[in-house]
Amino acid sequence: MKTLLVVLSLLTTLNFGYADNSQINHWYQELKDSEITFHSHGAVCEQIAKIQMADQYPPDEYEITTGIIYGKAGIIIGELDLVVFDKTHEARMVAEVKCKRRVAAARKEAQLQLERFYNKVVDSDLPIVFYGADGEDYDVRQFDEIEKEDLKTISQLEGEPYFEYTVGLNYDEVILLWKRLKRCQTSKHC
């Protein structure tokens, strides 16, 4: 019995690399009433990144959107996880958001996706069509000013050495938050 009490006492005082629950609770409160269906933990990371980018790109000067699909002749080429537009509707930053356990591989995947976007859209004359998850259409000319340095990557905390930005939660916390949001949406409480 004494051993059990000692083990329980140790377990309650150890920090396993998780932020305190206030971080998860903060993001849960921030995201639970959004119109987004959290079909994956990646959607959670994208929405946190969108909210955090508002510090760098204030809403009175910029619009930040997620989930813009681009393609040609009805064939999807890719999706832009996060795009920042200025008030003239010109894209100023495009980011790939990857919250995955294997951060080095996630970084490579994000870079390849950004490279494909740049080569197929920005540095090409292909007739590309854009449409957002929100139903809004976008024009290829809105991306004319994008340069390679405007392409960014975002990940969870473990991605810090590999990615330009992080969402402030580690991978396990993102998963916990996603499960909590998914449970809320499934039970129709969100």
Rounded mean pLDDT of 45-50?
Answer: 97
| Confidence check: pLDDT of 125 > 80 | no
Rounded mean pLDDT of 47-73?
Answer: 95
| Confidence check: pLDDT of 99 > 80 | yes
CATH of the domain at 179: 3.40.1350
Judge whether 147 lies within some domain: yes
Please tell me the pTM assigned to this model: 0.84
How far is the first Cα of the chain from the last one, in angstroms, to the nearest whole number? Answer: 42
| Confidence check: pLDDT of 126 > 50 | yes
Task: Tell me how many domains the chain contains.
Answer: 1
Residue 45 lies in domain: 21-26+40-186
pLDDT score for 59: 95
| Confidence check: pLDDT of 118 > 80 | yes
- Rounded to whole angstroms, the Cα distance separating 34 from 25 reads 15
Split at pLDDT 50, 70, 90, the class of 14 is very low
Of 35, 36, 32, give the one whose Cα is nearest residue 24.
32
Judge whether 11 lies within some domain: no
pLDDT score for 5: 36
* Chain position carrying tokens 């999706």: 79
Rounded mean pLDDT of 92-104?
Answer: 97
* Cβ–Cβ < 8 Å for 98, 49: no
